[in-house]
Structure 1
């Protein structure tokens, strides 16, 4: 009689577990939780599988801390169940407790079990702790177990965080060889080449990415930026129009569209440029480049007070960009604030001593304020830097050459 009762109880529990599983995979979470509660009451809370599924549902609902408690309860019932341990570690990771998650993953490995998921997630924890050497080792171990696009992407990101761009290029190239039709990998490789100034290679990879996913907004934005850099504004705007349908609230997209209107030939479209840039600023008020670009547009419109406001905002967000100080100095000079203009030029030159355009503009501002000797000093430095760049094969804008000749003649007249 006892044996028969035990057999019936086990069979009944098996059927309930099957019912719980069926409800869970059907995403009928309300029914699933009701059945789980009934089962937990009937077995005194000592059923591992219902506890495990309830934890999964709670995590799906965003209740990470509560789900962790249930995963830990399931682990207490079955301490050597690897699935429970992995879920405990995953919950700790989602809660930002990366060190604790690493410890649980390490305990799982001590049980003689290590798969791709454990190595990959352990690498993620090390990456967020900024322990990049350990993260690289874990991601490489994960790929040794089983190669995945996600692991290649994370490994490449770690190399980029270390500013080891050659290492990142090698990783992303391996990823492309492994998964040649993955548009995300192709786009990432293209963006890395773009960051390194290798526009032709970048465009090739982005083109391949668009061949597999013609409507991917991230790829379209990157390809459009290359076209924009080549001064083909109309074609770039066509690309951006496609991306805008998919991602209408992308600040970088509206920033680029605004600069296309600003760079339009033969006449810049200032009103359209300001409208697009202000939309970008609304979408991402802490993006320094948007404020910087708004400063440029207002400076060209001769709206110097507005230009001063946006250049100041850009500097507050990114204090180490030399060009912001140079254009702020030009703006201050136009506002007849010579002392602060000179200070801004000095700051720009201290950040980027090899920038000959800052030296030229500084020399012009000093000349216009009758500081002829100081102007000559800056002009001499400008000529040294410019001649060096010309010797290295750099193309020089015609306007810079013209300004050089005019200032050279003017200084000779004043100092003779």
Structure 2
């Protein structure tokens, strides 16, 4: 009897050794031999066989083998965890939750069970339960992966302050985690806190100078400050690492646009569009460049595509209206301006009214033009001094239009 136990332990050890060496073919041969000798009652051999099957993409088959192992030893929490994992990978999230709840009744509180259960709730879009479960997992044992998933849920719910708090807590445990640092930078960027965003992105790049997400985000902040050459240097590094990123080529294209290199800008933006044909912002930017270069038919095409992909962005309608005006389609241009003004709501966007007034004046609709120019003046005066002085061309255009209208 003792000899049999020793032989069994020895074979389990050999199975483990072959598995960790990733010699899967030899491992499976030994497993089949052990299972034949044990009449399919060797739990460890079944468990390892299921792991190999799942790594080879045979998730359904691995689930059945894990279930066999669980029948042999129903109180082994490892079997239940792997059954839950396989169900999760098969998209059977409700069934996985049931298994994880059964597993949580065995032994002490387990971070892995609660984390994976939270993932299931997340994919079922039961976000309140997911948040609650992830918080329990963090209380058991703080893990970067749990903080990241918890932050993702708050971001999905558009609760940016809570997401930032979660990632800040994650940094207390892992101050050098580049994914957390980059995500924090992006969240601050989304909140228009560019200085904080740049601080965290630069910290991320200190630990991983070739992180494409950090480079792209840091470059976009530099680009927003009109330092196109420095931004392009950043993007050159990212282009080597992620040459097929539509967001990267979109940003490069807009850098060239800022440098008034329009042919290069269009070439980069068209490459971005090829890589990401359903990205509305690329169509929008192509519309801007073609409008600027007086290619109005092409501008109309790209602005229309942008609106089809993202119909709730009011500026697309304004630039479409400008394009239609240049194409002498007065009626549709007015309709597009009306749509843009209606979408933005109160208090309103000054530039929309100014451009609308310009169009109306050109078509001798003087009374309507005066009305929109007055609306522009009211909205413009309500802005802070920095915003008022940000673009002198707007004021010049407003004064010139006012003189034409006798205002």
TM-score, structure 1 length as denominator?
0.94
Aligned to 1:221: 216
Gap runs ≥5 in structure 1: 1-5
Conserved in 2, the CA contact under 8 Å of 1:237 and 1:257?
A: yes
- Give the 3-state SS of the residue equivalent to 2:405 in structure 1: helix
Gap runs ≥5 in structure 2: none
Aligned to 2:62: 67
Per-residue deviation, 1:13: 2.7
Conserved in 1, the CA contact under 8 Å of 2:81 and 2:100?
A: yes
Conserved in 2, the CA contact under 8 Å of 1:160 and 1:168?
A: yes
Aligned to 2:112: 117
Write the deviation string for residues 140-189 of structure 1: whole angstroms up to 9, x where unpaired: 11111111111111111111122221111111111122211122211111
Could you list the structure 1 runs, at least 4 aligned residues long, displaced by more than 6 angstroms after superposition. none
User: What number of residue pairs does the alignment pair up?
Assistant: 405
How many Å separate the matches in 2 of 1:180 and 1:361? 49
- Give the 3-state SS of the residue equivalent to 1:102 in structure 2: helix
1:308-323 to 2 correspondences below 5 Å: 308-323=300-315
How many Å separate the matches in 2 of 1:224 and 1:255? 12
Aligned to 1:335: 327
Aligned to 1:249: 244
Per-residue deviation, 1:42: 2.3
Change in Cα spacing, 1:391 to 1:261, as seen in structure 2 (3 Å) is closer
Greater shift, 18-27 or 6-15, is seen at 6-15
How many Å separate the matches in 2 of 1:352 and 1:393? 18
Per-residue deviation, 1:8: 3.9
Give the aligned CA root-mean-square deviation in angstroms.
1.5
Change in Cα spacing, 1:394 to 1:143, as seen in structure 2 (3 Å) is farther
Conserved in 1, the CA contact under 8 Å of 2:380 and 2:388?
A: no
Per-residue deviation, 1:242: 0.8
1:244-323 to 2 correspondences below 5 Å: 244-264=239-259, 268-323=260-315
- Give the 3-state SS of the residue equivalent to 1:412 in structure 2: coil
Per-residue deviation, 1:396: 4.2
How many Å separate the matches in 1 of 2:304 and 2:58? 43
- Give the 3-state SS of the residue equivalent to 1:384 in structure 2: helix
Match 2:373 to one of 372, 379, 382: 379
Structure 2 residue 337 is matched with structure 1 residue 355: no
Conserved in 2, the CA contact under 8 Å of 1:127 and 1:158?
A: yes
- Give the 3-state SS of the residue equivalent to 1:33 in structure 2: helix
Greater shift, 34-43 or 22-31, is seen at 34-43
Conserved in 2, the CA contact under 8 Å of 1:20 and 1:35?
A: yes
Aligned to 1:3: none
Aligned to 2:363: 369
Match 1:388 to one of 373, 382, 395: 382
Conserved in 2, the CA contact under 8 Å of 1:82 and 1:113?
A: no
Change in Cα spacing, 1:234 to 1:391, as seen in structure 2 (3 Å) is closer
How many Å separate the matches in 1 of 2:64 and 2:335? 59
